[in-house]
Amino acid sequence: MAVKGTDIVKKLPDLGKKNCKECGFPTCFAFAMKLASGGATLDKCPHLSPEVTEELEDALSPAIKLVTVGTGDNALQVGNEEVVFRHDKTYVHPTGIGLLISDTEDSAKVDEKIKKISDLQFDVVGINLKADLLALKCDSGKKDTFLALVDKVCKSTGVPFMLICEDADILLAARDICADRRPLLYPVTKNNIDKIIPAIKEKPGPLGVKADSLEELIPLTTRLKEEKIDEVVIDPGSKDLMEAINDQTFIRRAAIKQGFRPLGYPTIAFPGTLAKGELKEILVASALVIKFAAVLILTDFDEFGLRPLLMQRLNIYTDPRMPLSVEEKLYAVGEPGETSPVLITTNWALTYFIVSAEIESSKVSSWLLVKEAEGLGVLTAWAAGKFNGDSIAPFLKRSGVEDKTKTRKLVIPGKVARIKGELEDALPGWEIIVGPREATEITGFLPGYAAKLKN
């Protein structure tokens, strides 16, 4: 629940009436309003007491904390969400998908899983989709066995990881092997929290807090908050899918609608504990991607389970206000040369992928110019004035297509045949060819057209 400027101003010096202007704003009220909208930071006012600063920092922080697991380019960030429903605005940090490795699995299986997490990557609409972390679990109860696994994984991959062990001594010993990689430590429970707190204050890093219910979770996160530890993900210990959906929904609503800080953390769930069998596990994970889980740890997956789950995540975490788009540039489809056809379309991802797939199907290597049009389809882009002679001509000139081909014929989508004249005026020396209206007609059109180009 966002804090209001009118509430902030009451906390400023002299109840917001000092108006000394040292923050760069004409009044305390103006500063408070900017703070509330995220346009200013607290450090601009030099007259705030440490207590008020802390109180306002807390009030201004996101309803759901941002948590970072790992370091560098591979780090996984979850949380920081501002809305309950995706259509209210957008979700910002996609659910982290993790793969579990138990220290009771044999060496070959461990190697297979390490390889799997780096090999199973999919490019979809120009976006790389992949799982995000490894979760190393101590099932053996043996310190040496678990530490050997952690050491091995730490040395063999750069992906972020999570350490899971009920025994806090083993968990912290494992953490010490790789503390600089900021692993997520799990579970912090009412039984081990006293041991974990000093260790995490000494070497800060993210924690996974687990309880058997929401009610038991709240005192644990409250205690951590008192200790100024708030890089936390929470596990309400749901017993089945229905309970998990209820818990996840309650947590999200309490954090965002009610501003209830003890539950203002990203969540973690283990679909394998809610359903048995790989397919059911993926289905449960799919439901929890929709219903607010920030981290999901799977016992195993293959391409056929992971790919649809990642697609699901892509759909849920795509900003509904922004059409998916691809980069504006000249694309080579196949291995085009100097006499290959040149076509143009807009940068709506769906348009680009359908058109390029149809060109590939025609087996005629071609140059495809993709014009930036704010992710709109051809006809809509034309209607919005983003796909016409005036905008296409300068793009074609800077695209470099004239250096790559001797062809001076440009195929435009049949739906915008009306821009042929203005485009020829804007592109002297180019002949504009009106191509098929529908992408599906490209395979019938291109072979004959390419043959004519060569003659």
- Which residues are near ligand SF4 by CB under 6 A? 12-13, 18-23, 25, 28, 31, 45, 47
Residue closer to ligand SF4 by CB (options 18, 190) is 18
d(CA 234, CA 248): 10
Other CB atoms closer than 10 Å to residue 185's CB: what's the count?
Answer: 24
Minimal distance in Å, beta carbon 3 to ligand SF4?
15
Residue closer to ligand SF4 by CB (options 20, 384) is 20
Minimal distance in Å, beta carbon 269 to ligand SF4?
43
Residue closer to ligand SF4 by CB (options 47, 398) is 47
Residue closer to ligand SF4 by CB (options 41, 213) is 41
Residue closer to ligand SF4 by CB (options 31, 382) is 31
Minimal distance in Å, beta carbon 63 to ligand SF4?
24
Strand order in the sheet with 431-434: 329-333, 366-371, 342-346, 409-412, 431-434
Residue closer to ligand SF4 by CB (options 15, 417) is 15
Give me the DSSP letters along 50-99: HHHHHHHHHHHS-SS-EEEES-GGG-EEEE----SSGGGS---SPPEEEE
Give me the DSSP letters along 320-334: TTS--B---EEEEES
Query: In terms of DSSP bridges, do strands 207-210 and 127-130 run parallel, antiparallel, or are they unpaired?
Result: unpaired
d(CA 440, CA 442): 6
Tell me how far CA of residue 231 lies from CA of 52, 123, 220, 367, in angstroms: 22, 31, 13, 49
Q: Assign 259 to helix, strand or coil.
A: coil
Minimal distance in Å, beta carbon 273 to ligand SF4?
50
d(CA 100, CA 297): 6
Residue closer to ligand SF4 by CB (options 55, 111) is 55
Minimal distance in Å, beta carbon 62 to ligand SF4?
22
Tell me how far CA of residue 193 lies from CA of 177, 188, 218, in angstroms: 20, 6, 13
Minimal distance in Å, beta carbon 126 to ligand SF4?
45
Residue closer to ligand SF4 by CB (options 18, 386) is 18
Q: Which of 113, 108, 111 is nearest to 133 (CA)?
A: 113
Minimal distance in Å, beta carbon 13 to ligand SF4?
4
Minimal distance in Å, beta carbon 52 to ligand SF4?
11
Helices (H), 365-416: 378-383, 389-399, 401-404
